[in-house]
Amino acid sequence: MKRSVVVHQFTVSLSGRDAVGHHTLQVDDILRELGAETTLYAEHIDPQLSHRAQHYREHATGPAPDFIIYQASIGSPVADYLLTRAEPIVINYHNITPAELYYRYVPQLGAALDLGRRQLTQLCRKAIHAIADSEFNAHELRALGLRNVAVLPPLVDASVLPSNGEINPTCGRSLGTIPATLLFVGRLAPNKRQEDLIAATAILRRWISDIELILVGSSSADTYARALKEYSQRLGVDDIVRFEGSVSSKQLMGRYQSADVFVCLSIHEGFCMPLVEAMAWGVPIVALGATAVPDTLGGAGVLVSDSSPTLVATAIERVLTDQTLRQELSDRGLARAAELSPGPTRQRLRQSVEALIAGEASPQ
């Protein structure tokens, strides 16, 4: 009888509420469906997922796997440990944010990102294969000498997607009935540039008085969060900028359903899952055309070349006031979201994982 392939998967932090954690769990499910024996290891494990994973330090005492999958997104002792292992390693790369964006607000996180970049360089010399979330991420890996790279988008969390055709109903309505809602979903983090969203909202308010900006997401740096709130006060828009923090899946679905425009001015993204969620809800998108964002949108949003407040406000105003454009963006977004939906994306990932198990991902 043929022996089952044994695969050990490592990640820094395992939580079902973040994109990397959700993807990691889905990869584990696919491996098991294909008959592999799997174990998940992490440095930080959500207590609700303690039945799914073990601390990475427990790995050294167990039997050796046929190969290891590492979900790379930040520096950690986990990567240092993997560099000591002899087993073949596959990198699933979700991008590492440039450290210099964080040193001002949270130096320890900047240091972890710096460490992650150094570890990634070493891992690319060791890995036999990699899966990258986007062509942007794949380019980084290839620049580090890893040639055997497949591009597969991460798996979107179906729990925040619409069901039974219940998409955003705002495309056909006129301004003035209720406040026009600008939405961004993502951690309060320096690379997300929420300050640029606030500045654009201050300009837009001069032209459209009844608007609001909703920022959904926990804070990665309290100093940055405080700076954002102080900035909104200085610009006189603290009454229309709402910091909602982390919300439940049901609340997030409500935000997508009531948003008029999703605005993303992030300067560094390896994929940006909230763009897919917004498109799935039919929300028109205005975004900065930087890093992986254009690839993720696939032509389904209005891209701005820079984040100057007047330019961004002008783009948002056009989307809010041109119902033909709003409907076109909504339709294009729905089509793009269908391409990136859990069904097709999971099938592509399954095929890639199946090739790994079959030994078809050859060493460099």
Which range (139-153, 172-186, 189-203) has the least confidence? Answer: 172-186
d(CA 163, CA 281) in angstroms, rounded, equals 10
User: What is the per-residue pLDDT for 198?
Assistant: 98
DSSP-derived letter for residue 304 is E
Confidence of residue 231 (pLDDT cuts 50, 70, 90): very high
Tell me the domains of the chain and their CATH numbers.
6-156+342-357 (3.40.50.2000), 159-339 (3.40.50.2000)
pLDDT of residue 18: 85
Q: Write the pLDDT tens digit of every residue in 49-93.
A: 999 999 999 998 777 899 999 999 999 999 999 999 999 999 999
Check whether 168 has a pLDDT greater than 70. no
**What's the confidence (pLDDT) of residue 220?**
87
Find the mean pLDDT for residues 277-289: 97
The rounded percent of the chain whose pLDDT value lies above 90 is 87
**What's the pTM?**
0.93
Task: Convert the pLDDT of each residue in 20-38 to its tens digit.
Answer: 999 999 999 999 999 999 9
> What's phi and psi for 250, nearest 5 deg?
-65, -45
Residue 29's pLDDT is: 96
Residue 228's pLDDT band (cuts 50, 70, 90): very high
Among 17-21, 112-116, 271-275, 325-329, the minimum mean pLDDT is found in 17-21
* pLDDT at residue 165 in the model: 67
| Phi and psi at residue 228, to the nearest 5° | -65, -45
Rounded to the nearest 5°, which phi and psi values hold at 262? Answer: -100, 125
Q: Give the residue-averaged pLDDT of 208-237.
A: 95
Q: Report, as an integer, the average pLDDT of 232-247.
A: 97
CB 153 within 8 A of CB 271: yes
